[in-house]
Amino acid sequence: EAAVTQSPRSKVAVTGGKVTLSCHQTNNHDYMYWYRQDTGHGLRLIHYSYVADSTEKGDIPDGYKASRPSQENFSLILELASLSQTAVYFCASSDSWGAYEQYFGPGTRLTVL
């Protein structure tokens, strides 16, 4: 049974529109992460959270907001979607900060037109 799930699995959005990507984990982990995957860039950290109601900026936070309403749920919000935000987005969780094994969701493919 998948421990990290993401919804939607794919989405097409219009430029300037608002997009919300959702992540749910059943690992009982404190840490959750949002990554962006682009060809040639690997995975880059956008936002992360270590406790409900608190989020932190990662390496590429511009244009993104995050929300952690509970330990299990973590959302990524694009208030004004842009063409450059077309990518695959992964959510992950871990029981401690950093490189200790992170468990990834299946990803959301976002296309902004």
58 closest CA partner among 43, 47, 69: 47
Whose Cβ is closer to other proteins: residue 18's or residue 102's? Answer: 102
Secondary structure (3-state) at 83:
helix
Whose Cβ is closer to other proteins: residue 75's or residue 94's? Answer: 94
DSSP designation for 105: -
What's the min distance (Å) between Cβ of 49 and other proteins?
14
What's the min distance (Å) between Cβ of 110 and other proteins?
15
What's the min distance (Å) between Cβ of 80 and other proteins?
27
Residues that bind other proteins (CB under 8 A): 4, 40-45, 58, 90, 92, 96-107
CA distances from 71 to 18, 35, 95 (A): 24, 18, 11
